[in-house]
Amino acid sequence: MYRIISDTSCDLKKNEIEKLNISYVPFNIQVEGNEFIDDDNFKLDEFLGEMEKSHNPIKTSCPSPYDYLKVIEENLDREIFIITISSKLSGSYNSAIVAANEAREKHKDLKISVLDSKSASAGHTLIVLKLLELLKDNSFEDADKKIRGIIDKTTTMFVLESMQNLIKNGRIKKSAGLLANVLNIKPVMVSNDGEIELYEINRGIKKSLDKMIKAVGTISNKTSFDMITISYCQNKKRAEKLVEKFNELYDIDVVEVNHTNGISSAYADLGGIVIAF
């Protein structure tokens, strides 16, 4: 029997993960001194409202080694995989490594693997879902080897409706961000070995989304996929339209669509769309 432990960068629904043998270890997010823990009691609408009103940057805290160790010790009778947000975006991976090493010292026979998803949101979700498939008919060791190969081949892309959070959190210069908003510029971003890079700049959300959909084929050099994941923040209709367009252009077995959890919502912001393949 196995247990997957993940931080809440994965966007699978919190009320559904237990039946999949998944446990979440939450991020902590602060807006204007108000603390939001990204767990089962997370109030998404309240959080998004507070975030939108605030002129100051949000503050995020990743899970601590103790947070991970507590969940590990609840599952000592299982083979354990820990999957985290990209180590280049957060300290969550390092916390998981510290916890796993301590657990190994205490419990010599424990099978535990810590995986850097090199992604976030929809990309993190894709890795978890792929691991679940592998665990149906692979040993711990084979599943571990195969999922690491999948991580290295996975690409995450996103388009933001609003750049306000990137401006407030200093991810881009305020002057450049404000100019982009005035000109209705919606950049398409892409992951590269766990880091985020600019892929393309377009004017208008529709054009950027269309370009992102076409980029999936260009980047992968494929027309068929076993799975594509989509995460959205408060724009379900836009996500559903994306599904239609993906199915028009590509042969896809499964398109998994989820609303962003708290930490992904904090950076995708209202209207953001994240995809992975």
160, 249: one domain: yes
Q: Give the count of domains, the chain.
A: 2
163, 49: one domain: no
Q: Look at residue 38 and give its three-state secondary structure.
A: coil
The alpha carbon dihedral of 74, 129, 235, 205 has a sign of positive
15, 148: one domain: yes
Instruction: Point out the domain boundary residue: 118, 152, 186.
Output: 152
Residue range 211-228, pLDDT digits in tens: 999 999 999 999 999 999
Q: pTM here?
A: 0.93
What is the rounded average pLDDT of the residues 164-192? 66
130, 26: one domain: yes
7, 104: one domain: yes
Confidence label for 102 from pLDDT (cuts 50, 70 and 90): very high
Instruction: Point out the domain boundary residue: 118, 135, 152.
Output: 152
76, 132: one domain: yes
Spatial distance between the Cα atoms of 169 and 31, rounded to a whole number of angstroms: 12
Residue range 13-32, pLDDT digits in tens: 999 999 999 999 999 999 99
